[in-house]
Amino acid sequence: MTNEKELRNSFIVDEDAYTKDKVKQYAEKALKYAKIAKNGQILIENHNLQSDDKIKLCLAVRFIAHNFDSSIQSNATLSEIQKIVLESTEAVGSRLSKIVKSGFAKKIERGVYQIMPHKIEGFLDELSPPSALDIKAKNLPDRKKRRTTKGVGKDIQELIDSGFLNTPKTIQEISKKLKEEVKFHDDRVIDATVRNGFVSNKKVLKRIPATDKGKARWEYVIRK
């Protein structure tokens, strides 16, 4: 059994040395996803992440960088995050509110947020490369692959499953419906996902000329 002295030395550690070691581990894990410029600007390396993960990553790398260089803020502002996520201020603010309520971060002041340090390690582990099972799922036929769709694709699929697109809808109508369900995505992202994902690739929807829909040129409806 471990004697009392060994146990004490393992359990009671030097705070600065412990923090430095942990932050170094965090930085090594975060490197493949983001970096921080010398002026504190957040540089996302992996743009395939979901919006919530991008927000959490912004908060994580800012905190990590602050521990290496105290001149860099340990927090991030709503406007900084909005420029990276490329969603409306309203959408990013809503996402941040949920992240704060989940206990992942805290609101320092109006429009300023900071990660809870004990959440960093678990979050970065979740961003690890996909396992063999994930890769296998990615290669499944479209019908099964649809079950693993995430983000805006998942939200649009849910609208399809609910019957919302049994009748023709414009991109603006799809966007409005998603916002009613508190699912915020940029209209350009919705448009690209519908056209590329559900019309061209999966062939679940078809595009038809809009009829009396204002400025909209096209509508989308279930392919029968």
Q: Which CATH number fits domain 132-222: 2.60.40, 1.10.10, 1.10.760, 1.10.287?
A: 1.10.10
Domain ranges, ordered by start, for the chain? 4-126, 132-222
Q: Please classify residue 85 by burial: count the beta carbons closer than 10 Å to its beta carbon, then call 0-12 exposed, 13-18 middle and 19+ buried.
A: buried
Q: What are the DSSP calls for 125-182, one per residue?
A: HHTSPP-HHHHHHHTS-HHHHGGG--HHHHHHHHHHHHTGGGS-B-HHHHHHHHHHTT
Cα separation, 109 vs 94, whole angstroms: 16
Geometric angle at alpha carbon 196, from 186 and 154, rounded to 5°: 60
Q: What does the radius of gyration of the chain's CA atoms come to, in whole angstroms?
A: 22
> Is pLDDT above 70 for 36?
yes
Report whether 151 contacts 50 (CB < 8 A): yes
| Stated pTM of the model | 0.53
Q: Determine whether domain 4-126 maps to CATH 3.40.1010.20.
A: no
- The answer to whether the 4-126 and 132-222 domains have the same CATH topology is yes
Predicted pLDDT of residue 147: 43
pLDDT in tens, 51-97: 999 999 999 999 999 988 989 999 999 999 999 888 899 999 999 99
